[in-house]
Structure 1
């Protein structure tokens, strides 16, 4: 992750220091505060105190409606993952009793490949190939965690059955935006019908990241290992195979900055060797991920018609949606078989 200096007046570091004292953390002045840049609207600030480095994660200064609840869930999830083999940021302490909610975590020693590849990764094809497999390793570790460590965290009952109606309803809601003519997405209804007909009969609930792709992974600086899965805003208890489907749906279209990744079939086979989950319906999960992500991105296209997003962004994301539905067609045709 990259950093830049910020206006420290945006955060009350005196109050933060007092809170840290109450947590029994090392004392002293807070030094070297800098914003951590990432793909989230939440605020992340790196600083040092008492010879130790921290990352503070808190809602944006102008809080969104669900900002505090999202961070409560993240903090609870990260606390549950401490002591597991899942590569995740290590939670230090969290303030969830009042708002704004925030938490402290240890900085991750690693890099995000979307910002470029360091050495030895840039010049070693074997490392880059292995990076793709390590993404499967990290996901399989998450799938092994007992969801019972997070009681009441999600609604796994009927999780898969809810997906198609949930996202078709989301797509219908875009019609409330002025000027949006409705979705022009070839294959939309065909895909929805295929998903309904091929719904897996059952699944084993587990912890889901909810947005599992390369931009949300940090890799070790000295090799292909995943140092941390980051940005847990969409985490829930559901079907972990949908995370694998999400990785396949965005593979390799969002991973062009890492040439030489393994093909999707190899990725699936590697995950299967690490997991006791039934992957016989993996094509369904890949199609479902394309369907959901395509509808989510179409929302920006609809908002652009209403003047609530730049037209060029809306057009770009609509094109991405069309690409995702074309990719869903490939999965339905059995490219993973």
Structure 2
């Protein structure tokens, strides 16, 4: 942990004063903090007073797309899920006043665990542990999708009717907001997804970005916490499954700046992941190819948005210079998945 110097985007003295005013029961020592590397969207910081530890989340610096980076949304969902079987960090505080640190933010408990991001990390665990971890990842997704939204106060968290159509429109608008270059095939992919919309599965709380490096794995290889809820909503749960399958299909290339773990020895195949999810959830997964192709499209748009912020000099951390080169592969894989499905 760094000293008292402010990490980019977080004024520690202002944060301390706000915590003292809003949560006077918290430990009152001077804060130290550091930016947690690995995130490509919202900024995440580890903060400590020397005894207790917390995590602070805020939107990225600069260019922010409409409807994205909603701190209140993230805070609400982890608060609602705290007493369910779904593992989430404890919510400490939400601040929607941008005057405090320069942007809305929330504070949550620090959870010990590892976000596995690379095949090398999993390979070091061995095939048996890798298999167990990934299957538990699927089981945790089943647990999330089994939560009754009304029972936890999330029945108004989204609009399930027309969910897939709105998702396509939303990500099309996000793409338009970040267009800075020609991207061959991306408009074709969006159009094909629109003409092949499946009938939505029964609604559930969906994470929106569910993958191995968005969870913390404990020393006992269990899922300790699901993180990064910025895209969560009430909608079609198979969008989460499609994203998980997409990440399972990816293989690393030199300089890959996104998490790729699917080629690690012991990692279950996409077919095994589908079977595990179907058996645990009882849901019809026959149209899963569409959801996987949609995941490729969504990630292409997200990466293009990050590339756009990089071109404007509005990103923090390493690896952003390589993200733009990845986008065409996501487009091609999305088209291939639709054709083969």
TM-score category of the 2 structures, normalised to the smaller one: 0.7 to 0.9
Residues 222 and 116 of structure 1: is their aligned pair in 2 closer, same or farther, counting only changes over 3 Å?
Answer: farther
SS of alignment partner, residue 56 of structure 1: strand
- The 5 A counterparts of 1:121-270 are 122-148=124-150, 149-174=153-178, 177=180, 180=181, 182-185=182-185, 188-189=187-188, 191-223=189-221, 225-253=222-250, 254-256=259-261, 259-260=264-265, 261-270=267-276
- Residues 96-120 of structure 1 show CA distances to partners (whole Å, capped at 9, x for unaligned) of 464444433221111111278779x
Q: CA deviation at 1:274?
A: 1.1
Gaps of 5+ in 2: 251-258
Cα distance in structure 1, aligned partners of 2:44 and 2:168: 33
Gaps of 5+ in 1: none
Q: CA deviation at 1:318?
A: 4.6
Is the contact made by 1:147 and 1:205 (CA closer than 8 Å) also made in structure 2? Answer: no
Structure ID, larger Rg? 1
Is the contact made by 2:96 and 2:105 (CA closer than 8 Å) also made in structure 1? Answer: no
Residues 228 and 314 of structure 1: is their aligned pair in 2 closer, same or farther, counting only changes over 3 Å?
Answer: closer
Q: CA deviation at 1:58?
A: 4.3
Q: CA deviation at 1:197?
A: 3.4
Residues 28 and 4 of structure 1: is their aligned pair in 2 closer, same or farther, counting only changes over 3 Å?
Answer: closer
Q: CA deviation at 1:169?
A: 4.3
Residues 7 and 281 of structure 1: is their aligned pair in 2 closer, same or farther, counting only changes over 3 Å?
Answer: same
Residue-pair matches, total: 317
- Residues 19-51 of structure 1 show CA distances to partners (whole Å, capped at 9, x for unaligned) of 3554xx3544346555444414435232147x5
TM-score by length of 2: 0.78
- The 5 A counterparts of 1:272-291 are 272-291=278-297
Q: CA deviation at 1:146?
A: 1.9
Query: 2:93 maps to what in 1?
Result: 94
TM-score by length of 1: 0.78
Residues 42 and 300 of structure 1: is their aligned pair in 2 closer, same or farther, counting only changes over 3 Å?
Answer: closer
